[in-house]
Amino acid sequence: MTETISISANDRVFVLTGAGISAESGLPTFRASDGLWAGHAIEDVCTPEAWQRNPALVWEFYSQRRAQGAEAQPNPAHYALADLERRLGERFFLCTQNVDDLHERSGSVRLVHMHGELAKSRCGDECGEPPVEDRTVYKSLGEVGRCSCGARMRPHIVFFGEIPLEMGRIEAEIDKATLMLVVGTSGSVYPAASFVHWARQHGARTVYVGPEKPLNASAFTHVVEGKAGEVLPGLFQGTC
């Protein structure tokens, strides 16, 4: 029997996605045994100190991920969320921890990337210039451009120890949500892992979708075990 989640005309849906939703598109997750963090030390490629110490290694890591991301295609899970957004309109909000653009490429519009975006770069000295579109796969540090202030550009990625993006909007959307759907995240990184607790505090239904229970599984009113690309297409029932 396939599980379904009812959505009524009064429901406001907040969706949080993690690396798991892109797994069936061929992109590696972080904490699987063959994941991204298995091959790289976080402190070497995803911290402000790493950026100061070895910008070449940071750009090598993110250029490799840009190349992987460009090869990947959205999967049925991405399309199911874009379809749900079309049905719910402004009663739908998507926050992703992912830095790939598979949600956009499947049609999602009402979304924020709280950990940044692979397809953008920004000033490495944080001078205040806004991020710019940049999909270049750099082969050497010498190829990386400069900001108008003269600083080297960095990936528009939130490093560990930095503040996630769009938190004001995210908190406001969680406060309005009557249903939180969390897809494909291990619940090991904050503040994203606490969103489910915030939603439960004001009585929202909270649903997790993934092949294994997340660390914060006890906070969910409903856990649907399975792959996102197989579960999401038939998950949402009701008037919307």
Give contact residues for ligand APR (rule: CB under 6 A). Answer: 18-21, 23-24, 29-32, 35, 97, 115, 184-186, 188-189, 210-212, 214, 227-228
Of 84, 45, 50, give the one whose Cα is nearest residue 61.
45
Between 123 and 183, name the residue whose CB sits nearer to Zn ion: 123
Between 72 and 151, name the residue whose CB sits nearer to Zn ion: 151
Of 43, 71, 69, give the one whose Cα is nearest residue 58.
43
Where are the strands (E) in 80-189, listed by range? Answer: 92-96, 111-113, 116-123, 132-133, 153-157, 179-183
Between 30 and 93, name the residue whose CB sits nearer to ligand APR: 30
188 binds, among Zn ion, ligand APR, none (CB under 5 to 8 A by kind): ligand APR
124 binds, among Zn ion, ligand APR, none (CB under 5 to 8 A by kind): none
69 binds, among Zn ion, ligand APR, none (CB under 5 to 8 A by kind): none
CA dihedral 165, 138, 107, 162 (to 10 degrees): -10
* Residues contacting residue 60 through CB under 8 Å, at least 6 positions apart: none
5-6 and 236-237: which strand pairing? parallel
Question: Residue 72 and residue 110: Cα distance in Å, rounded?
Answer: 21
Is 153 among the residues that bind Zn ion (CB under 5 A)?
A: no
The single residue among 56, 67, 109, 149 that binds Zn ion, judged by CB under 5 A, is 149
Between 129 and 166, name the residue whose CB sits nearer to ligand APR: 166
CA dihedral 117, 122, 126, 127 (to 10 degrees): -140
Is 127 among the residues that bind Zn ion (CB under 5 A)?
A: yes
Catalytic: 103? Answer: no
Is 123 among the residues that bind Zn ion (CB under 5 A)?
A: yes
Question: Residue 97 and residue 52: Cα distance in Å, rounded?
Answer: 24
Question: Residue 154 and residue 20: Cα distance in Å, rounded?
Answer: 26
122 binds, among Zn ion, ligand APR, none (CB under 5 to 8 A by kind): none
Asked if 115 contacts 35 with a C-beta cutoff of 8 angstroms, the reply is no
Is 112 among the residues that bind Zn ion (CB under 5 A)?
A: no
Between 11 and 100, name the residue whose CB sits nearer to ligand APR: 100
Catalytic residue among 78, 113, 115, 156: 115
Is 151 among the residues that bind Zn ion (CB under 5 A)?
A: yes
* Residues contacting residue 198 through CB under 8 Å, at least 6 positions apart: 171, 174, 175
127 binds, among Zn ion, ligand APR, none (CB under 5 to 8 A by kind): Zn ion
Binding residues (CB under 5 A) for Zn ion: these are: 123, 127, 129, 147, 149, 151
Which residues have a catalytic role annotated? 115
